[in-house]
Amino acid sequence: MDKKKQVRVLVADDSALMRILINDIINTDPDIHVVGQANNGKTAYLLTQELKPDVVLMDVNMGEYDGIYGVVKIMEHCPTPVIILSSIGNVDMNPILQALELGAIDYLNKPAKNRVNMDEVKQDLIEKIKIASTVEVKELLDKPVSVNIHEHSFDNKTSYDCIVLGASTGGPRAIERILTQLPKNLTIPVVIAQHMPASFVFAFANRLNQLTPLEVSVAKQGSRLEAGNIYLAPGDLNLTIERKHKNYVFGVTEQRFLAYNNPSIDALMISVAASYKEKAIGVVLTGMGKDGAIGLKAMRDTGSYTIAQSAASCIVYGMPKAAVENEAVEQVVHLDEIAAFLVSCLA
């Protein structure tokens, strides 16, 4: 790849040593190079305006002008794909979730035990930079949506008994947008498999629980699904749903899946196809890879209604594309319309 086509990266970190280490990692790949470095969020924003990098790597804790400041300013004045690269996620996921809500497209934890041992994340970092460089952030910037606090007039018996969502890169933003638009008297459970580290899932559930009047929690093996509740799959196992008499309960499978594990969207959706048959709705959201394509196809084959997020509204149109190509999708829907579309399916 010639120099002009290299992915141009700006590195923002208050540690000079960390900037050197990140620079060294990036320089191992001929398709990427560092065009500038910043030691706080304000300098990162100013350099983004000046240098127009393809991707910004942003730390969170950087003194007065932190990474959150940098994300806000960049998205307001010079929209650019931002990846949060910080050790704060090892102890507190909330700042990272805030950055994602404000426009950052992805995140990666620095190693918790040894900050200089960055080789642990080398492969993931390079992959995320290359994916981020393909994202048109300007196309994804949207106006804030107020939380739906209203009830909806549902029939006594709806056509579906469960909604299952699968997401990866860009998923937290997409999931927030969908859940906050669902009516507070939703009559069926929603189960979500979001690719993220196990330590992040509980913080994400807590955040969602504060954003919506619906009850959001992390699914527990053996517990029963309750109408109107939202459940997140744990990040350290492959969650399933089993039918026991008239109830549906959460289970776990030891089976490994080619596309992704812990949590596997395919594992969850295949189990939903077997337990709910035609009485479920499956949705594959933004994310890289192919997880969900097999599971959503299983749902469609058993009569469930299947949806994929539209390419124009995805951070990464990988998983929805794979589902469409696998003939698993009945309807493609823009992110901003998914919640209303789901309600219309139930009404």
User: Which residues are marked as active site?
Assistant: 168, 195, 291
Containing H/E element for 268? helix 265-276
Tokens of 287: 């994310």
Where do the DSSP E strands lie in 64-105?
82-86
Containing H/E element for 192? strand 190-194
Tokens of 16: 């000079």
Burial environment of residue 152 by CB neighbours within 10 A (0 to 12, 13 to 18, 19 or more): middle
CA separation for the pair 339, 347 (Å, rounded): 12
Numbers of helices and strands, H then E, in the chain: 12, 14
Q: Is the dihedral of CA 314, 315, 317, 320 positive or negative?
A: negative
Which has the closest alpha carbon to 168: 112, 122, 127?
Answer: 127
Phi, psi of 267 (to 5 degrees): -60, -45
Tokens of 93: 């996921």
